[in-house]
Amino acid sequence: MSTLSDLLDLAGLDPSLIGQADLTGQDPALPSSFRIGEAAQASIAALGLAAASLHTARGAPPQRVAVSMRDAAAEFLSERHLRIDGQTPPDPWDPIAGAYTCGDGRVVRLHTNFPHHRDGILALLGCENSREAVAAALALRNAIEFETEATAANLCVSAMRSFAEWDAHPQSAHLATMPVLTIERIGDAPPRPLPARAAHPLEGMRVLDLTRVIAGPVAGRALAAHGAEVLHITGPHLPSIKTLTIDTGRGKRCASLDLRDSADAARLDALAGGADAFVQSYRAGSLAALGFSADALAERHPGIVVGELCAYGWGGPWANKRGFDSLVQTSTGFNVAEAEAAGVAPPKVLPCQPLDHASGYLLALGVVAAWHRRATEGGSWRVRVTLARTGMWLRGLGRLENGFSAPALKHGDLADLLEVEQGGFGSVQHLRHSARMSATPAVWARPAEALGSSPAAWATP
């Protein structure tokens, strides 16, 4: 309970909410030396309690929030338990993505799932598009120097470090001064009363979701599970991964706007004027350059809550470094530490992408906590979560001596958690949300839809 209590305190929520939580199970929930089950359970339960508390503030009676550690851990693997028309989706990983040994004996990990990232790596290495060619080219390179060169080119590469090496890195020192979840007031606005009581805790709250891949989209999916109207916005020119679009798209409507076009940018700003939250996960400065920084949004739309997520933070030498969960695991020490615990040669990846999933739930928690504050204190608010800082939080939960004794969560063992929806992607089987709300069961009101399927407009007046 202490991890959950700490998150409620960090979010500025009533500490007595802990009395409404029913947490069951214990680690190891997944085969790992890290307390991934605890991180999953606490982050998902904290959001559930925050949503229940907001519902109480709208006139509903208090309710219980039950989270099984096994169910929460399974939800951190949600994209792997997706089935479409009874079939496992194709592997979304690009063939040349992964870990390679460089000429100095150190390891680098490449993330090439988006074509422009892949093509940039191949151009930087001057080689053909094959694992053999990439391996041969990297065998001539120094790992840290290649990481630095790739970072300068806005490509997705991480050199593998130990925890000791990460702790000595200036980016680690920068992040260590920050909490895992930051909620700050960025503008003045009068208190905004909460909507009248509705059937679900977040019903009537509007969220613009400008996020991609896993972490940010998980935040939007979680808010939708508790009743928020979530409108996902992407650009028609941006690449996507179909499996992740389906897994994280439940409960959302998906529209397309090209923010390089002034009319589309104006349309997004008009939507922001009716939004309770604007959540984005683009690289630092990307949306700001188009007029959608948190400060600019707060100035134009007082009372808005802006949620921001990135890989390594908004300050320090890696403020603009691109990253994904797998890369952050590599650069911050997890691949080495997990291998040492398992008695194998590094790199060894974690059994899921916990930095992504935990960051998504923490971001959603921060948004709901900011709505609480806005209702009583007024103001515009910014919520920030960073994959690397989430990793430091996970590390801080401690290690397990018997972590690898836990069996993997196989799809066939999760029948009690699976449900089927019918929609534009066919018959889709996915995991239920693991926070069991006693009065307002979590539900996605609509199936996932293809990007750009809906108009860029709010569904409710």
CA-CA distances (angstroms) from residue 151 to 109, 146, 156, 285, 460? Answer: 12, 8, 7, 16, 43
- DSSP 8-state symbol, 85: T
- What's the pLDDT score for residue 92? 87
- DSSP 8-state symbol, 34: B
Measured distance CA(185)–CA(187) in Å, rounded: 6
Instruction: Provide the β-strand partners of residue 34.
Output: 399
- What's the pLDDT score for residue 96? 95
Measured distance CA(78)–CA(80) in Å, rounded: 5
Neighbour-count burial of 257, counting CB atoms closer than 10 A to its CB (0-12 exposed, 13-18 middle, 19+ buried) = buried
Give the count of beta carbons closer than 10 Å to the beta carbon of residue 303: 18
One digit per residue, the tens of pLDDT, for the chain of length 461 reads 799 999 999 999 999 999 999 999 999 999 999 999 999 999 999 999 999 999 999 999 999 999 999 999 999 999 999 999 999 998 889 999 999 999 999 999 999 988 999 999 999 999 999 999 999 999 999 999 999 999 999 999 999 999 999 999 999 999 999 999 999 999 999 999 999 999 999 999 999 999 999 999 999 999 999 999 999 999 999 888 899 999 999 999 999 999 999 999 999 999 999 999 999 999 878 898 899 999 999 999 999 999 999 999 999 999 989 999 999 999 999 999 999 999 999 999 999 999 999 999 999 999 999 999 999 999 999 999 999 999 999 999 999 999 999 999 999 999 999 999 999 999 999 999 999 999 999 999 999 999 999 999 999 77
Measured distance CA(307)–CA(305) in Å, rounded: 6
**Domains in the chain with CATH codes:** 2-90+174-315+351-437 (3.40.50.10540)
- What's the pLDDT score for residue 460? 76
Measured distance CA(312)–CA(389) in Å, rounded: 7
pTM of this prediction?
Answer: 0.97
